[in-house]
Amino acid sequence: MVTKVAVAQMLSGADLDLNMRCVRDLASQAAKQSAKILVLPENFALFDSAKLIDLAKSEARSSFIHNALSALAKEFGLWIIAGSVPLFLRSIDKVTASCLVFDDKGELVSRYDKIHLFDVDLADRQSSYRESDLFEPGSQLQIVDSPFGVIGLSICYDLRFPEQYQKLRALGAQIIVVPSAFTYLTGQAHWEVLLRARAIENQCYILAANQGGQHSETRTSWGNSMVVDPWGEVLAIKTQSGAGLVLAEIDLAEVHNRRQAMPIMQHRNKAGF
């Protein structure tokens, strides 16, 4: 089955309303291009660490994002995979970075809480990143059974942990999404090679939506949002910074054919690992 997908790149900032207007524009463009799936990047609604926790704890603003995404999915007939949204878990007084999936009727059909948190030191102007200061890690893998194939969910730093993607493949994933906010430094070095490796290892499509451009004096994201096929070929890429769509057609027959010709999972199981 052939499906047109739209991967959104954004340059989100600290203005929630402005960011959500951009989301609407991208959803409209995706629908006009006959896309069925729209993937948004990590932190699409707000790219400001100081405001993320306040957003999560504000029931009104959290509901605004949820309702806006639901309405857009229904209005434009899109499955929207919404990068990451900070969600407050009142029962444990913690915030998760969560990927929300809405079907084309506007129903929330899945949620994935980011498992691997970005706690690293880099030789860039930001120098130190500590997501664990803000977020509680998730613990459960998530796949979504959609009309377009089984979709595995991941977020950004998860990309560096191949065992997570292998487990998603074992659960049936044919498509894996990677909404991200990769830094310029790490993205320049590793973004494309990691995406292509995950596609090749798991013989699946990778839909990678990244933030792209300068957000502040200290934070610049890499961009280069792309779609990669099960052979590791880059089908489409946005090389310019700023907001826009990457559009490509994906064909599940290609997934089937690659897996039949090279039965990696069968060989891995025989090896005992």
How many other CB atoms are there within 10 angstroms of residue 53's CB atom?
Answer: 15
- DSSP conformational letter for 211: B
E strand or H helix at 113: strand 108-113
Q: What is the pLDDT of residue 55?
A: 85
CATH number of the 2-271 domain: 3.60.110.10
Q: What is the pLDDT of residue 271?
A: 74
Give me 165's structure tokens: 């993607």
Distances (CA, A) of 81 to 67, 88, 95, 155, 268: 14, 19, 19, 11, 30
For β-strands 37-40 and 2-9, DSSP reports them as parallel
Q: What is the pLDDT of residue 270?
A: 77
Instruction: Provide the residue type at 220 as one letter.
Output: T
Return the SS3 of 116.
Answer: coil
Question: How much is the pTM?
Answer: 0.96
Distance CA 235, CA 159 (A): 19
Q: What is the pLDDT of residue 82?
A: 98
Of the candidates 28, 98, 27, 18, the residue with the CA atom closest to the CA atom of residue 66: 98
Give me 157's structure tokens: 């730093």
State the first-to-last Cα distance of the chain, in angstroms, to the nearest integer: 32
Distance CA 209, CA 106 (A): 21
pLDDT in tens, the chain (273 residues): 899 999 999 999 999 999 999 999 999 999 999 999 999 999 999 998 778 888 888 888 889 999 999 999 999 999 999 999 999 887 767 899 999 999 999 999 999 999 999 999 999 989 899 999 989 999 999 999 999 999 999 999 999 999 999 999 999 999 999 999 999 999 999 999 999 999 999 999 999 999 999 999 889 999 999 999 999 999 999 999 999 999 999 999 999 999 999 999 999 877 776
Tell me the H-state helices in 115-179. 162-170
Q: What is the pLDDT of residue 130?
A: 94
Task: Return the domain boundaries, the chain.
Answer: 2-271
Active-site residue set: 42, 114, 156
Q: What is the pLDDT of residue 273?
A: 66
Phi, psi of 131 (to 5 degrees): -65, -25
Return the SS3 of 77.
Answer: coil
